[in-house]
Structure 1
Amino acid sequence: MKLHTHHILSELESKDPSMVLRIVVTSRGLTDISCLQHFVNLQILNIANNRISDLSFLSKLSLVTLIADYNPIVSISQISSQDKLENLSLSSCKLSLESLKPISSLKNLRRLTLFQTPASENAHFYSEIISMNNTMQFLNEERVREPNGDLTQLDKFIDSIPNQHRKFEYKTESWLPEAAFEVFDLPGFSAICQELEGALGK
């Protein structure tokens, strides 16, 4: 089902798309919401529980909050343009860790929710997601970083850090030249030894 601009405007009792700041179109079986690109000042968008997989309309918007839970979304590459996005919810979407890499470009991201996704089932979920974005403070409703950037609850995430033990080859080198280990006679040393032996024999 395709969403049309006039449907939204009639529901909001508005005639100008540029005046709309918030849109909620949930549980409507929508597959095409490309008309949203006309709402250029939109800040909050909730499109949860539809059949949306194409997010290309985002390139025309500058959202602060996007809720897109329960949609067959497998890629969020179009989200890179959202420099103002602070809150992003993609629970129950078909997103892997690899497909979430575009969040690294979200310079104002504060909250990210990814419950029940292939990514959240990965053993290294927390450490991987946290390393992708250094502004995010909440992941799946849990604080993971303080406003000053310090990580929190390190004991929770330590087990999810990938084991990166490596095999190293060690090469040892002598710090002294080989000549330092050669045996040589000290001048007059033999004579001194003979004198000592003579003195001890008396």
Structure 2
Amino acid sequence: MSRLFFSFLIFGTIIFSSCTSKYAILDRNFETEEIAISSKLMDIEILDERPNVTSEKIRLNVISFPGQSDKVSPILNNEQEQLIIDQIESYFSDGDTEISVKCTILRGFQEFSAHTFNEREYVEFETKIELLNAAGKMMKYCTSTAFFEAKSMDANYDFIDKLYLKAIKTSIYSCFQKLDD
């Protein structure tokens, strides 16, 4: 009886610790420097150039078996688009130069795979940011990719969606960090 109890205790600890450790990724702050571009922001254009976007959600099975997997490039929804706009606006302070921003999404996907002892959630987001002058001529540009991976006993929609949002924010932040130099 005590051996069975001990086995359940160990199994429960493993499951609990894998779930809590994956959520630690969401709490890590990758935005370490303040960005303040001294220009007047006139316009933000967001282009999604991913060829394989879909409105279908990634398939996360309640019970999965090794070898099962899925990968989707979700359509940019209103929440994500507004997140991008708000983030870009926060990097500009009033200045004399008028700037427009062109944000092109080059790649962005969510991926799930099941393995013998865990389930893997992976997200990746790549953007190209262009700063354009008042005449529409490109002054500077940067590309950046952000990716995150978590392995646990149970993948879920809420976590992979939050991880995807973090990849979006991190990718855009990394570009502006380089453009602010």
TM-score range, shorter chain: under 0.3
TM-score (norm 1): 0.19
Normalised by the size of structure 2, how large is the TM-score? 0.20
Q: Which has the larger radius of gyration?
A: 1
| Structure with bigger RCO (C-alpha 8 Å, 6+ apart) | 2
